[in-house]
């Protein structure tokens, strides 16, 4: 079983181009599944059927995992068994009859302008790392890209004249994202006054680098954002995805159409993008209720 998992993880990394964070979650989910199989003395992967999967879901339910966690485990197993079927390792896919648990709808969190302004002023522009970290904040907000995409930006993929970047996203799909004058200024400042000092005598094609001369990892970027939040004193959450949500929400609030936002975010399905309209509608209601004289009782 472990041998199949190792090959599957390699497939996700190198063929599907999944992010380090996603691959880590897949690996952890499959370890949990492996533990369950070993505990129940199930050794032959071809004998795993619908009933075994159902019992595993009951096992997870008894562990009091949230619906979101269970849904993630199901998604992992669905991708795993699809891979096994594709490579003729199993004859029947036991996941075909399994459906995800119903999720309670939660709106994506986003930052208000005042919060974003405070956070963006935390990195020290007089230091090499501060210049880099300020650009990271701006790059997320200006482009709406994922942390895995930001980590892998190559300098040659940036068009400085047109202010656009060729991004390689999930499943090696490419798209163009745009950025503005503020971001351009910060990129140039970083390239002139920070990046070479961080690299020292080393060389790299990646835009964001660390002192070892290698690509700044997704985990390192998350740690940078946590540090910025801690220094700000704000009682909010700050993650790469929240900055991505803020990008989408602000575009829609300022008149962008849904299709454009979908393309910029790299969403395959318009329904994934539609959740942001709930945020903008909610904000409109709040503004109306607080400002219109006849909205109040």
Which residue segments constitute the domains of the chain, with CATH numbers given?
2-86 (1.10.150.130), 113-289 (1.10.443.10)
Q: What is the pLDDT of residues 201-221, one digit of tens each?
A: 899 999 999 988 899 999 999
* Residue range 153-162: mean pLDDT, rounded: 96
Q: How far, in Å, CA of 277 to CA of 291, rounded?
A: 21
Tell me the C-alpha to C-alpha distance, in Å, between residue 147 and each of 224, 237, 253.
12, 16, 23
Q: What is the pLDDT of residues 43-85, one digit of tens each?
A: 889 999 999 999 999 998 888 888 888 889 999 999 999 999 9
The pTM (predicted TM-score) of the whole model is: 0.68
Q: Residue 287: is its pLDDT beyond 80?
A: no
Tell me the C-alpha to C-alpha distance, in Å, between residue 64 and each of 55, 104, 199, 240, 248.
14, 16, 46, 28, 33
Q: Residue 30: is its pLDDT beyond 60?
A: yes
b/e code 195-210 from CB counts within 10 Å (16+ = b) = beebbeeeebebbbbb
Question: What's the mean pLDDT when you consider all of the chain?
Answer: 89
Q: How far, in Å, CA of 285 to CA of 26, rounded?
A: 40
3-state DSSP assignment of residue 168: strand
Q: Name the packing angle between helices 20-39 and 67-86 (round to 10°).
A: 90
Please give the positions annotated as active site: 146, 170, 241, 244, 267, 276
* Residue range 256-281: mean pLDDT, rounded: 80
* Residue range 245-253: mean pLDDT, rounded: 89
Query: What's the pLDDT score for residue 21?
Result: 83
8 A C-beta contact, residue 1 and residue 45: yes
Confidence band of 171 (pLDDT split at 50, 70, 90) = confident
Query: What's the pLDDT score for residue 199?
Result: 92
């Amino acid at each position: 079983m472990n041998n199949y998992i190792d090959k599957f993880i390699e497939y996700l990394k190198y063929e599907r181009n999944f992010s380090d964070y996603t691959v880590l979650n897949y690996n952890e989910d499959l370890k949990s599944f492996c533990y369950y199989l070993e505990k129940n003395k199930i050794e032959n992967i071809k004998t795993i059927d619908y009933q075994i999967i159902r019992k595993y879901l009951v096992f997870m339910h008894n562990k009091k995992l949230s619906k979101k966690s269970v849904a993630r485990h199901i998604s992992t197993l669905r991708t795993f068994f699809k891979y096994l079927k594709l490579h003729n390792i199993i004859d029947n896919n036991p996941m075909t009859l399994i459906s995800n648990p119903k999720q309670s709808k939660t709106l994506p969190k986003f930052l208000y302008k005042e919060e974003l302004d405070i956070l963006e002023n935390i990195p020290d522009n007089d230091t090499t790392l501060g210049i880099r970290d300020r650009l990271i904040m701006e790059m997320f907000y200006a482009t709406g890209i994922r942390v895995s995409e930001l980590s892998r930006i190559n300098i040659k993929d940036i068009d400085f004249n047109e202010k656009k970047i060729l991004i390689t996203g999930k499943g090696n799909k490419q798209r163009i994202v745009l950025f503005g004058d503020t971001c351009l200024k910060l990129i140039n400042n970083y390239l002139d006054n920070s990046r070479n000092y961080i690299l020292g005598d080393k060389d790299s094609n990646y835009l964001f680098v660390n002192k070892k001369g290698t690509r700044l990892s997704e985990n390192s970027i998350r740690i940078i954002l946590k540090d910025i939040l801690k220094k700000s004193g704000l009682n909010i959450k700050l993650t790469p995805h929240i900055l991505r949500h803020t990008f989408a929400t602000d575009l829609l609030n300022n008149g962008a159409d849904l299709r454009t936002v979908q393309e910029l975010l790299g969403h395959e399905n318009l329904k994934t993008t539609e959740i942001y309209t709930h945020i903008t509608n909610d904000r409109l209601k709040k503004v109306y209720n607080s400002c219109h004289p006849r909205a109040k009782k």
